[in-house]
Amino acid sequence: MELHRLELQNFRQFKDDTIEFAREKAEGITVIHGSNGSGKTTLLNAFTWLFYDEVDFETRPDRLVTEGTIAEATVGKQLTVSVRLRFEHEETEYIAERRAIFEKRSEDDFDGDLIDMGLTLEYKQGTSWRERGNPENSLDQILPERLSDLFFFDGEDIEELAGIDNQERIQESIQNIMGLTILERSTRHLEDAAGRFEDEVEEHASDELAKLIERKREIEDTIEELDRKKDDTERSIERTETEIRDIEQKLERLDESAALQERRQEYREDREKLEARVEKINEEIKAEIDEKGFVPLAIPLINETAERLDEMRQDGVIPSDLSNSYIDSLLEAERCICGRPLEPGTEYYEQVAAMKGEAVAEGVEQGAVRIIGHLNQMSDMESAFFDNIDEYIQERKRLHDDITELTEKIDDVGSELQEMDQKTAGGVSVPELEAKRESKENEKEELIGEKGRIEEKIDRNEEEIESLKEEIEEQRDEREEALVAKRRQKAAELVAEELGTAFGELKDKVRRLSNEKIQDTFGSIASKNLTAEITEDFELKIWQDVGGERVEVDKSTGERQIASLAFVGSLVDIARERYEADGDSEYFTGGIYPLVMDSPFGALDKSHRREVSRVIPELANQIVVFATDSQWEGPVEDEMSPKVGKQYWLDFDEGNDSNTYPRTRIKTEPVGGD
Amino acid sequence: MNFISYKKSELYDRIVDEYDIFQNSYDFMVFLAVMGYQEGKVVREGYKGDDSAGTKGQIGVENFFANDLYRVIASSIAFQDTEDPSALVNSELQAEKLAQYAAGGLEIAEQEFGSTAGDPTNVIVEYIQDHDEEDSYQGTLGEIVKAFDDQMMGVEED
Amino acid sequence: MSTSGGGGPSLDGEELEIDEEKLRRIRERVLQAEKEKLHLDLPRGVINEIEGIVREEID
DSSP string, A91-150: TEEEEEEEEEEEE--STT--S-EEEEEEEEEEEEETTEEEE-S-HHHHHHHHS-HHHHHH
The amino acid at B8: K
Of C12, C39, C55, the CB nearest to A137: C39
Nearest-5° Cα angle at A470, A466 to A471: 115
pLDDT of residue A167: 60
Residues of B with CB below 8 A from A290's CB? 21-23, 27
CA distance A595 to chain C (A): 21
Chains A, B: CB contacts within 8 A come to 165
Neighbours of chain A (3+ CB pairs under 8 A): B, C
ipTM score above 0.90: no
Asked whether the beta carbons of residue A310 and residue B144 sit closer than 8 angstroms, the reply is yes
Per-residue confidence (pLDDT) for residue A459, from 0 to 100: 95
Low-confidence ranges of chain A (pLDDT < 70): 146-147, 149-151, 153-179, 313-314, 316-343, 347-349, 351-363, 365-366, 369, 422-427, 476-478, 524-528, 553-558, 579, 581-591, 602-603, 657-659, 672-674
The pairing of strands A549-552 and A540-546 is antiparallel
pLDDT score recorded for residue B144: 55
Q: Is B153's pLDDT higher than 60?
A: no
The SS3 of residue A488 is helix
Chain A closest-CA separation from residue C49 CA (Å): 9
Report the pLDDT value the prediction gives residue A385, as an integer from 0 to 100: 94
The secondary structure of residue A536, as a DSSP letter, is T
User: In this complex, do A393 and B125 lie within 8 Å of one another by their Cβ atoms?
Assistant: yes
Per-residue pLDDT tens over the stretch A112-125:
889 999 999 999 98
- CA distance linking residue A454 with residue A448, whole number of Å: 10
Min Cα–Cα distance to chain B from A282, Å? 8
pLDDT of A179 reads 65
- Chains with ≥3 Cβ pairs under 8 A against C? A
Q: What's the mean pLDDT in B78-88?
A: 86
pLDDT of the residue at A265: 93
Question: Distance (Å, rounded) from C-alpha A292 to C-alpha A388?
Answer: 11
CB of A501 within 8 Å of a chain C CB? The answer is no
Mutate to test the interface with A, among C28, C34, C40 (most CBs of A within 10 A): C34
pLDDT digits (tens, 9 = 90+) for A300-346: 888 888 888 777 766 766 654 554 555 555 556 555 555 556 667 77
Q: Give tens-digit pLDDT for B29-43.
A: 999 999 999 989 899
Residue B147 is nearest to which of A282, A310, A375, comparing CB atoms? Answer: A310
Across the interface, of B30, B84, B152, the residue whose CB is closest to A338 is B84
Euclidean distance between CA atoms A518 and A119, whole angstroms: 37
d(CA A225, CA A212): 20
pLDDT of residue C42: 63
CA distance A420 to chain B (A): 38
Task: Determine C/B contact with 3+ CB pairs under 8 A as the test.
Answer: no
Contact A304 B80 (CB under 8 A): yes
Q: Tell if the pTM clears 0.90, that is, is over it.
A: no
Confidence (pLDDT) at B136: 40
Using CB atoms, which residue from A179, A196, A498 is nearest to C27? A498
Put simply, the answer to whether B125 touches A289 (Cβ < 8 Å) is yes
What's CA A608's distance to the chain center, in Å?
A: 16
Q: Would the pLDDT of B154 be above 90?
A: no
Distance of CA A434 to the CA centre of its chain: 33
Q: Which neighbouring-strand residues pair with B144?
A: none
Pairwise CA distance, residues B112 & C1, whole Å: 118
Contact A337 B86 (CB under 8 A): yes
Indicate whether B145 pLDDT > 80. Answer: no
CA C17/CA C20 separation, integer angstroms: 9
- Which residues in chain C (10-39) have CB-CB distances under 8 A to chain A? 11-12, 14-16, 18, 22-23, 26-27, 30-31, 34-35, 38-39
pLDDT of residue A79: 93
C9: chain A residues, CB-CB within 8 Å: 480, 483-484, 487
